[in-house]
Structure 1
Amino acid sequence: MAKLYFRYGTMNSGKSIEVLRVAHNYEEQGKKVLLLTSVVDDRFGVGKVVSRIGMQKNAIVVDDTLDMIELAQVESPNCILVDEAQFLNKKQVAQLITIVDDLNIPVIAYGLRADFMGQLFEGSTALIAAADTIEEIKTVCWYCDKKAIMNMRCKDGEPIFHGEQIQIGGNESYVPVCRKCYASKLKATLSV
């Protein structure tokens, strides 16, 4: 029986390399995998899953016009992998649920749990509520050796704690941090 998996981690935790690794494993066994990514993430061009270590693969772009259920019916993959799943909306997550439950195709969605202010993304909220299995991809804090659980947005190397929820960026814009370091940097910013 197929399952819906949500694998989340902070920025720089290796989510995209994990997506590419799992896709490679399926393909190496002669199995068909559909690789999807959000239209929102255009850092390396729309329709690309790119890891920080340089590996990349083309992907199908998920936007408001894509019927993922129809795509899954036509393509009949062994598995569907979704990168940047935090950018999905509730309707798109509902499509993934239908693919798992009605088409019996496993779906593994990878993304951030929360934004730089500690607020859940719409896609992450829906996935946490509905996923059969929720797994954390771990990394360490940028400033200490504790486990990173938050994303801190930076501008010119300095932490910032305001702005739009979505700002596409990589290491130049975000660092993974533990809750204690996040709170310390926030407190220092507020006292200035």
Structure 2
Amino acid sequence: MAKLYFRYGAMNSGKSTALLQAAYNYEERGQHVLLAKPAIDTKDATKVSSRLGVTRDVDFLVGPDDDIRLLFGEHRERVRNAEEDALMPEAGESAPDVACLLIDEAQFLTREQVDDLLRIVVLDGVPVLAYGIRTDFRTDAFPGSARLMELAHSLEELKTICRCGRKALFNARLVGGRFVFDGDQVAIDELSADRVTYESMCAECYLRESGGRLDGR
């Protein structure tokens, strides 16, 4: 039975690397996959990019108002038609199809889009592997991540460590190299004079930098 998987972790826990490895594993066995990510993640534009330097173009971007199941259906049909045109299956062989949908930066999906991921799994019979972070720099859950925690058949934590060597849980935001604990939930790290960056931290180090604040308070 197809399942909805949510593989989550703090920044730098290798989520995009794991996604690209999963795609490679499917394709090495002659299966087809589709890659997608939310359009709000403007870093690397239309690519999934790992910190190891491996990149790959996504098959489609998901806007905040997009019907993700409809987008998936359109690209699934494209895969089916392209493969059938290239090589008609012999008698007794199954027609080419998408074996898996992989979603990067899944925390940026809406709750409704996550609901449709479950529908893709249950009604369309295609496994979905979603990768993302649980919480923002204020320790609040992203809507997409919260809904994935509620709906996913399988939850898997990808681990990384804090500067002190403990397990990292939170994602602290820095602007121009200084920690900040107020601001919009979404701020993509980019090159600028006041560059936004993030650091994965354990609870102890996070509370030390925030002066004991959680949830921006």
Q: TM-score surpassing 0.5?
A: yes
CA distance in 1, matches of 2:69, 2:44: 27
Choose 119-128 or 157-166, whichever is displaced more: 157-166
Question: Aligned pair in 2 of structure 1 residues 188, 61: CA closer, same or farther (>3 Å)?
Answer: same
Q: Paired residue for 1:150?
A: 170
- The 2-side partners of 1:118 and 1:65 are apart by 25
2:44 alignment partner, SS class: coil
**1:182, 1:148 → 2: CA distance?**
9
Aligned to 1:81: 102
1:175 to 199, 212, 216: 199
How far 1:104 moved relative to its partner?
Answer: 1.2
C-alpha deviation, 1:2, in angstroms: 0.5
Correspondence for 1:119: 140
CA contact (8 A) 2:187 2:196 kept: no
The number of residue pairs the alignment matches comes to 187
Q: Which ranges of structure 2 fall in alignment gaps of 5 or more residues?
A: 77-96
Aligned to 2:149: 128
Q: Which amino acid in 2 is paired with 1:54?
A: G
Larger CA deviation: 2-11 vs 57-66: 57-66
Task: Tell me by how many angstroms 1:71 deviates.
Answer: 4.0
- How far off its partner does 1:92 sit? 0.7
Q: Is the 8 A contact 1:155 1:172 kept in 2?
A: yes
Give the C-alpha shift of residue 72 in structure 1. Answer: 3.8
Deviates most, 123-132 or 161-170: 161-170
Instruction: Measure, in 2, the Cα distance between the counterparts of 1:185 and 1:65.
Output: 36
On the 8 A contact 2:2/2:121 being kept in 1, the answer is yes
SS at match of 1:78: strand
Is 1:4–1:132's contact at 8 Å kept on the other side of the alignment? Answer: yes
Match of 1:7 in 2: 7
Q: 1:39 to 1:55 in 2, by over 3 A?
A: same
Kept in 2, the 8 Å contact 1:73–1:103? The answer is no
Query: 1:185 matched to which residue of 2?
Result: 209
* 1:131-178 deviation digits (Å, cap 9, x = unpaired): 01111100000x201000000001222211111100001796100000
Letter in 2 for 1:124: S
Q: Is the 8 A contact 2:5 2:128 kept in 1?
A: yes
Alignment of 1:23-38 (within 5 A): 23-38=23-38
- The correspondence of residues 47-58 of structure 1 with structure 2, limited to 5 A, is 47-58=46-57
CA separation in 2, counterparts of 1:160 and 1:20? 32
Q: Distance in 1 between matches of 2:197 and 2:100?
A: 32
Aligned-pair identity (%): 42
Matched AA of 2:69 = I
Name the CA distance, whole Å, in 2 between partners of 1:15 and 1:163.
Answer: 25
Aligned residue in 1 for 2:80: none
Where does residue 18 of structure 1 map in the other structure?
A: 18
- Note the 1:80-119 alignment, pairs <5 A: 80-119=101-140
Equivalent residue, structure 2, for 1:40:
40
Deviation at 1:66, TM superposition (A): 4.0
The structure 1 residue matched to 2:158, chosen from 137, 160, 176, is: 137
